[in-house]
A = this chain, B = another copy of it.
Amino acid sequence: MGEFSFIQWIRQKQKRRKDVILGIGDDCAVIAISKDKLCLITTDMLVDGTHFDLKKCTAREVGRKAIACSISDVAAMGCQATVAVISICFPDRTTEKFAKELYKGMWSIADKYNIEIAGGDIISGRGPLCINVAMLGRNNGLRPISRSGARIGDMILVSGTLGGSILGKHLHFEPRQKEGIILNKNFKIHAMIDISDGLTADLNHILEESHVGAILHEDRIPISKAAITVSRKTGNTPLCHALSDGEDYELLIVLPKGQAKRVIESHLFVKGMIHCIGEIINGRGIQMKYTDGSTHHIKPQGYEHLKS
């Protein structure tokens, strides 16, 4: 059983409440508080050895990342992150200095985005450092953008460049909070997700939720310098890294053609930091149009927990 098939099993069994507008299966859950006020919530767990490696990074970087990942989830709904509650399991013999550095890392980004850490649970246990951030968001009168609205003929945009985040971006990325809200406010976005599992894996989440397929163009995938660097070590192609590496925390945006043109021509993203990589098509799954003119189905690849 993989992570995603287990989540499908959970969704089928889960009883629903009327005030929960969006439940399991999106970047955030959305709860109706009153007629126009929605509450968004997302939860992210990070564990040493899986999401970061304390042999290679500082407590401050880990704290920053934990908050940044959750901001990115709210941004991917086109909404505003506001309040976080944090649970931390410190390994035995954690020093006070380390614990304080972790919080300083969290505040370094929480303060910048006007997010209050309003509560938490601090425990100790055997096992590695484990941090959970539950982040609330508000809709500011906007409709949260789900994964399920992609339509045939829509364009697929991606911000930034992709691949090789392991070389540093996974710790230092800036969540696309501002861009997510501006996109929601000023453009007609059909579906959006942040790239945490990997481009094809996250695109596939949109396709499955929207019951559509996609075609990507090999020569339009924005490959990062880090993807090229890391490809020299792994032997995989830079394209392969751009398609399947996780944790770039860029936005994957699905929207009508005219809207896509407007987004690209706007100055929301720095030049070269927004790319149209393909279209939504009838069918299922992802096809890749290669530069040699051939088109083949590709398998969504990215990080999946519980893979056997």
A contact residues vs B (CB 8 Å cutoff): 1, 3, 6-7, 9-10, 13-17, 19-20, 22-24, 26, 28-29, 31, 33-34, 37, 39, 41-45, 47-51, 82-83, 85-90, 94, 96, 99-100, 103, 107, 110-111, 114-128, 130, 132, 134, 136, 138, 305-306
Contact = CB atoms under 8 A, between A and B. Distances in A.
Contact of A31 (B89, B90, B118): B118
B43 A132 contact: yes
A43 B119 contact: yes
Contact of A45 (B15, B121, B306): B121
A100 to B, nearest CB: 7
Contact of A127 (B47, B122, B134): B47
A103 B306 contact: no
B28 A33 contact: no
A96 B305 CA distance: 13
- Copies of this protein in the assembly total 2
A121 B29 contact: no
A209 to B, nearest CB: 14
B123 A305 contact: yes
Q: Report, nearest first, the 5 A-B pairs whose CB atoms are least far apart.
A: A127-B127, A134-B134, A29-B118, A45-B87, A47-B125
Nearest to A24: B119
Given A13-B107, A117-B24, A82 B19 contact: yes
A83 B29 contact: yes
Contacts of A17: 82-83, 114-116, 118
Contacts of A41: 41, 83, 85, 118-119, 134, 136
Given A87-B44, A130-B89, A23 B122 contact: no
8 contacts: A1-B99, A9-B100, A28-B119, A34-B37, A45-B89, A45-B130, A99-B306, A125-B130
Q: Kindly name the residue among A16, A26, A31 whose own CB sees the greatest number of chain B CB atoms within 10 A.
A: A31
Contacts of A125: 47-50, 128, 130
